[in-house]
Structure 1
Amino acid sequence: MQDQLIQWRRWFHQHPELGFMEYYTTYTIGKELEALGFTVHIGREALASSARYGVPAPPLLHQQEKKASSLGVDADWMDKMRGGHTGLVATWDTGKEGEHKGFRFDIDALPIHETELEAHLPYSEGFVSSNPGVMHACGHDGHITIGLGLAHYIAAQPSELTGTFTLLFQPAEEGGRGAKAMVDKGWLTDVDSFYTSHLGITPMKVGTVAASVEGFLASTKLNVHFRGESSHAGMKPEDGRNALLAAATASTQLYTIPRHSEGPSRVNVGKLEAGNGRNIISDTGYLELETRGETGNINNFMLQEAKRIIHASAAMYNVEATIEFVGESQGIVCDEDMLSSIPLEEDSYMNQILTSAKVSGSEDASFMINEVQAHGGKATYMLFGTALPFNHHHPSFDFEEDALAVALETYIHILQGGTTT
C-alpha cells in the first residue's frame, strides 16, 4: 500500500482544516471507512458536545461549513457535524472472541502559512496547502493516512482477525481540545489495549520505532481578554484605560514565573493582539497562552502564577481581565511492554524498536490513555522515526514519507497479536 499511503498523505496535506472545523477531512475519512464496511459514528454520536474545549465562534464555523458543502460534503453529513462536531469513530467487530483494541489518529491542522519554496517537498511536488494560513505542520496528515491503512488491513482480513477494533479519528488535538470529548462519550471504557502514535517529535532514522514515551507535560491553555477605555491620546490621555499596555505587560511578566524545583515547567504567550490606531488609547487587548508542567501539581503552580500576573497587570492599568479556559492535557505513563513481541524480520520496514523515547510538549491523547488504564486496560504512545530538518509547527515542516510504511507495519503486527492460530 506504499503508493496509496503517499497519495492519501499528499491529499490530506493539500486540504488542511483547523480544529473542530475538519468537515471535509472527516467526510473524506468517513466515506472511505464506510466503503470498507466499518460502522461509522459522526457528530454527537462520536463525541460529547459539552466536553469540547475552545470551539471556534459560530460565524467562523458557519463559514467553514459553507466551504465544506461547496466541496461536496453530503447534506446529511453536514447536518450531523454542524456546529463544530467533527471527527469520527469507526468500529469493527470480527464476531470472534478476542481483545478490544483501540487506536487514535488526530486529524487537525495548524494556523500557519506554508512555505512556498522549491526546497520544500510539498511545494515542489504540488501538494502544498490549498488553504492560505492553514497547514499540516505537525504530521497529522500522515497520522490520518496510517489510520486509513490500518482500516484497509482490518477489512482485508475478516477471517483471520479476532476481537473488536475501535478507530478514533480525533479532531482538535492542537491546543488539547478534542480528546476529552471522545473520552466522555464512553468509547474507551472497555478497551483492553490502546495505541496512538506520532511521526517525528524527536529526530530518528526511518525504521526506528519507539514503543513508548516519557516526558509529556500536563498543560493548560488560556485566552485572556483585557477591557479598558478608549480616549484621544493627545487631547485626553488621562481619560483612557490602556488595555494594550496591560496585555503587553502581562505577556512579558508571565515569563518571570520561577521554574519549578520538582520538574520541568513552561509558559508561553503565543499570540498578542491590541490597539486601534496610533492616536487612540487602546480599550482592548488579547492574549493566547499556555502553561505546562511535568506533573499536574507543577502545571497547577504555573497556572495559578499566570492568573495572578494577568490580574495584577490588569489592575496596574485599571482595566478588566477575563480569563477563558480553552484546553488542557494530562501527563502520560505508558505501559512499556506492549510492543515487546513485535519481531524484526529481514524484509521488515522496521529495523529498530526502542523501549522508550524522551519527549517534551503535551498531548491530549493523555485523556484517552489514562481512561483506558483507569479501567484496567493497557495503553501506549509510540513514535515513528523520521528526519526533522525543520521543527514541528514550522512553515517548512515535513517528514519522510517512507515512515508511513514503517508505522503501518507496526500497527499490523499489533493487530496480528489477536489473530487466530
Structure 2
Amino acid sequence: MSGCKLVSFVLILHLLNSFLISCSSNELSQIPKNLLSLAKRDEFFDWMVGIRRTIHENPELGYEEVETSKLVRAELKKMGVSNYKYPVAVTGVIGYVGTGQAPFVALRADMDALPMQEMVEWEHMSKVPGKMHACGHDAHTTMLLGAAKLLKEHEDELQGTVVLVFQPAEEGGAGAKKIVEAGVLDNVEAIFGLHVSNLLGLGQLSSREGLLMAGSGRFEAKISGKGGHAALPQFAIDPVLAASNVIQSLQQLVSREADPLDSQVVTVAKFEGSDAFNVIPDFVTIGGTFRALSPKSFAQIKQRIEQVITTQASVSKCNATVDFLEDVFPPFPPTVNNKDLHPFYKSIAVDMLGAESFIETQPVMVSEDFAFYQEAIPGHFSFVGMQNKNHPPMPNPHSPYFEVNEEILPYGASLLASLATRYLLESSSLPNKSYMKDEL
C-alpha cells in the first residue's frame, strides 16, 4: 500500500471511529431522559406513591426498621431481585441487579424515621405516636426501589452489577459505618446517594465537588449543684443559673474563637431540670450538637466545649461532666464528594433536565453519615428539589410539619438508575480501586 493510500485509509478509520464514539455518546446522553420518562409512567408513579405512603404511615427509628426492611425485601422479590442479603448492619438490606460481576457500583437510601410527633393532618400521616418520617427517608427508600425496578427492567443492558444499599439508622446511629464494617461493599468502585430538598424547585438538582456538608458530633452535660426552695436561693447552689451561663459561653466559641471564614456551629437543643415551678433542682442536663467543615476545627471545638462547660460551671460553684455520646452516636466526618465523580454526576444531571436545572451549591452545615462511605470508597452525594412554585414554602427537614412532594419520586428514581447505568458503561474512564474478587 502506497504512503498516500495508507494515510487515506488511516484517516477513514479515524473518521469512522469518531462517528462511532459520537453515536455512543449520543446514546449515553439519552439514558437519563429515557429513564425519567419510564419513571413518570402512571402505573410506575402510582406504585412508588403507594410504597412511600405505606412507609410514611409506619415510621421506625434507627436499627428498628424491621417492617420497612420487610417491605423492601418483598418489593425486591416482586420485581425479580432475588439476590439480596439481610440482615446487614442490624436491619439493612443489600440487593444486587446486573451480571453479578465487576464492575460494581452502589446506590444508597436511608430508611429510618425521627422521634417526632407529626403535625401534618393528612390521610397518610404517621400511625405511630411520637415517630415520623420528618427528613424524607421514606421518599429515599421509595426512590431506590424505583431505581431497582428500572434497572431490573433493563438488566440485560447493564455492564456490571448495581449494589442496592437500603441503610438503617442515618439519624445519628451511623448506619453507614456499620454497613462499611460489614464488608458488603468491599468490591464496590463508587457509591451514590441523594436527599430531597425543600429549598430547590421540583426537578432541580444540586451538588458540588469536594466539601459538601459538615462533620457533626453530639454532647450532653450534667451540671450539678444543690437543690432547694425557689424562695430561698441563698441556701442552694443553682445549676439552672450555671447552665444558663454555660450556654451563653458556648455561643462565644463560634462568634469569638472561630475564623469567620471557617464555618462552625454549636447549638444547645436540650435543657432539662425540675418539673416544679418553685424548686431549684439538684442538677440540670443540657445537650446539643456541634459542627465544623474540617477535622482540625472539629477536634478543636470539641475540646473547647468540654473546657467551657466544666470551667463555667465551676464559676457558679457547680460541678459538670460532659459526655460526647460517641459509643451510641459516632461523630460524622465531613461529606466530601469525589472530584472525578462530580463532573460525571453533573453530566447526567444536565442530560436529564438541562443545564438550567443544575445548581452548583456551597457547603452546608448539615451532616450526613454518607460520609462514612466516602472514607472507604469514592462517593458522591446530591440534593433533589421538590418545592412546587405554586405551593407555599415547604418546612425544613426535622420539622413536625415536614412534607414530601411526591412528584419528586420519578426524578430521584431515574437519577439513581441513570448514575448506576452510566457508571457501568463508562467505568473505564472513572475512578476505581483494585479488588481481590471480581464477582459476588
Give the alignment's TM-score, normalised by structure 2.
Answer: 0.74
* Displacement after TM superposition at 1:280 (Å): 3.5
* Displacement after TM superposition at 1:252 (Å): 3.1
Secondary structure of the structure 1 residue equivalent to 2:343: coil
1:175 and 2:175 correspond: no
Cα distance, 1:284–1:168 mapped onto 2, change above 3 Å: farther
- Cα distance in structure 2, aligned partners of 1:29 and 1:130: 19
- Count of residue pairs brought into register by the alignment: 364
Partner of 1:42: 86
Secondary structure of the structure 1 residue equivalent to 2:287: strand
- Cα distance in structure 2, aligned partners of 1:182 and 1:265: 28
Cα distance, 1:252–1:38 mapped onto 2, change above 3 Å: farther
Partner of 2:190: 193
RMSD (CA atoms): 2.7
Partner of 1:55: none
- Equivalent residue for 2:397, pick from 385, 392, 395: 392
Say whether the 8 Å CA contact 2:222–2:285 is kept in structure 1. Answer: yes
Partner of 1:258: 254
- Equivalent residue for 2:345, pick from 308, 328, 339: 339
- Equivalent residue for 1:164, pick from 161, 164, 181: 161
- Cα distance in structure 2, aligned partners of 1:131 and 1:220: 28
Secondary structure of the structure 1 residue equivalent to 2:386: coil
Secondary structure of the structure 2 residue equivalent to 1:29: helix
Say whether the 8 Å CA contact 2:62–2:173 is kept in structure 1. Answer: no
Secondary structure of the structure 1 residue equivalent to 2:155: coil
* Displacement after TM superposition at 1:406 (Å): 0.9
Superposition map of 1:41-120 within 5 A: 41-43=85-87, 46-47=88-89, 85-86=90-91, 88-92=92-96, 94-95=98-99, 97-116=101-120
- Equivalent residue for 1:142, pick from 139, 142, 145: 139
Partner of 1:270: 269
Say whether the 8 Å CA contact 2:106–2:420 is kept in structure 1. Answer: no
Cα distance, 1:154–1:305 mapped onto 2, change above 3 Å: same
1:15 and 2:58 correspond: yes
Which segment drifts farther, 394-403 or 334-343?
334-343
Partner of 1:403: 408
Partner of 1:314: 313
Say whether the 8 Å CA contact 2:113–2:135 is kept in structure 1. Answer: yes
* Displacement after TM superposition at 1:312 (Å): 1.8
Partner of 2:380: 380
- Cα distance in structure 2, aligned partners of 1:362 and 1:159: 37
Letter in 2 for 1:264: S
Superposition map of 1:288-299 within 5 A: 288-299=287-298
* Displacement after TM superposition at 1:232 (Å): 5.2
- Equivalent residue for 2:71, pick from 28, 33, 53: 28
Cα distance, 1:217–1:324 mapped onto 2, change above 3 Å: closer
Which has more helix, going by share of residues?
2
* Displacement after TM superposition at 1:399 (Å): 2.9
Identity of aligned residues (%): 25
Letter in 1 for 2:383: L
- Cα distance in structure 1, aligned partners of 2:245 and 2:63: 32
Give per-residue Cα distances to partners, 1:134-155, cap 9 Å, x unaligned: 2212111110111111222233
Cα distance, 1:317–1:182 mapped onto 2, change above 3 Å: farther
Letter in 1 for 2:200: M
Partner of 2:220: 223
- Cα distance in structure 2, aligned partners of 1:236 and 1:351: 65
Cα distance, 1:232–1:206 mapped onto 2, change above 3 Å: closer
- Where does structure 2 lack aligned partners over 5 or more consecutive residues? 1-43, 388-392, 427-440
| Rg comparison, structure with higher value | 2
- Where does structure 1 lack aligned partners over 5 or more consecutive residues? 48-84, 117-122, 373-377
